[in-house]
Amino acid sequence: MIADRLQRIGHSTISTVAGFGRAGLMLFGALLGKPDFRKGFPLLVKQLYVIGVLSLLIILVSGLFIGMVLALQGYNVLVKFGAEGMLGPLVSLSLLRELGPVVTALLFAGRAGSALTAEIGLMKATEQLSSMEMMAVDPLRRIIAPRFWAGVICMPLLALIFNAVGILGGHLVGVEWLGVDAGSYWSAMQANVDLYQDVMNGVIKSLVFALVVIWIALHKGYDAVPTSEGISRATTETVVTASLAVLGFDFILTAVMFGG
C-alpha cells in the first residue's frame, strides 16, 4: 500500500524532472550557437506578426474592459470616502503592477501559447520536423528559436498596450461617464506612479511571464505525443500549466518587488 504510493510519487517525480530536463535541452539547443541574422530575421518578423500582431485584438478589447470595470468598482468605493480624485492612481497602479502583466500573460497563453503548441505538435505528427532534420536543417534553430524570441519580445509590449488601453478605459468610465474631474484623474496618476517602482517592475514581470509561457508552449508542442489525442492533450496542458505558472510566479515576484 504505502510502498505502492511511494513508488507512484517517485515515478511522477522522476518524469517531472525528466520533463524539465528535456525542456531545458530543447531551449539550449534552440538558443545555443551563433545566430544567422540573414536567415533568422525574416523568420522572426513572420513570428512577430503571427504571435504578436494577431494577439493584438484580444489584448485591446480585454484591456479596455478591464480598465472600465476597474474604474467603475473603484469609483463606488472611493466615492464613499470622497476620494474619487484618486481614481487615476487606483486604475493605473492596479494595471501596471498586476493586471496588465498577469491578464496579458493569461490571454497570451490562451491565444498564442495554445496555437504554438498545436502548430508544433502537428508539425511533429506530420513528420515535418523529422524531414527537416533529415534535410540537415535543425528544427530547434529553424522552428523553435524564432518563436521563442518573438514571444519574449511581444509579451511585454502587449502588456504595455494593455495598460495604456486600460487607463483609457478607466478615463472613459471614470471621467466621461461618472464625472470624475479629468485634471485630477491624470495629475493624481502622474504624482503617484513611479517609473521604476511601478512601470519597470511591471515590465520585468511580463518579461518573466513571457519566458515561462512561451517556453511551456514550445516544449509541450515539441514533446507532444504525435497523434491527434496527444496534440489536443498537449494544447490543454499548455494553457493550464502556463496559467498556473504565471499566477505562481506573480506571487513570488510581487512578494520580492512590493513585499518589503
Partner 1 sequence: MLSEILIDIQGLSFSRGDRPIYRAMNMQVQRGKVTAIMGPSGIGKTTLLKLIGGQLKPDSGKILFEGRDIPRLSRSELYQARKKMSMLFQSGALFTEMTVFDNVAFPLREHTKLPESLIRRIVLMKLEAVGLRGARDLMPAELSGGMARRAALARAIALDPELIMYDEPFAGQDPISMGVIVRLIRELNNALGLTSVVVSHDVTEVMSIADYVYVVADKTVIGEGTPEQLRNDPSPLVQQFLRGEADGPVPFHFKAAAYQDELMELTR
Binding positions for partner 1, rule: CB under 8 A: 39, 122-123, 126-128, 130-138
Are 54 and 110 spatial neighbours (Cβ–Cβ below 8 Å)? no
Are 97 and 106 spatial neighbours (Cβ–Cβ below 8 Å)? no
Q: How far is the CB of 45 from partner 1 (least distance, A)?
A: 14
Q: Among residues 111, 114, 115, 98, which one has the least CA distance to residue 206?
A: 98
For partner 1, the closer CB: 141 or 220:
141
* DSSP tally for the chain: helices H, then strands E: 12, 0
Q: How far is the CB of 102 from partner 1 (least distance, A)?
A: 32
For partner 1, the closer CB: 3 or 136:
136
For partner 1, the closer CB: 93 or 224:
224
DSSP 80-109: GGT-GGGHHHHHHHIIIIIIHHHHHHHHHI
In the block, residue with C-alpha cell 507532444: 224
> From CA 180, how far away is CA 161, in angstroms rounded?
24
For partner 1, the closer CB: 62 or 235:
235
CB atoms within 10 A of CB 254: 15
Q: How far is the CB of 155 from partner 1 (least distance, A)?
A: 23
Q: Quick one: cell of 26?
A: 530543447
Q: How far is the CB of 131 from partner 1 (least distance, A)?
A: 4
Q: How far is the CB of 133 from partner 1 (least distance, A)?
A: 6
For partner 1, the closer CB: 51 or 86:
51
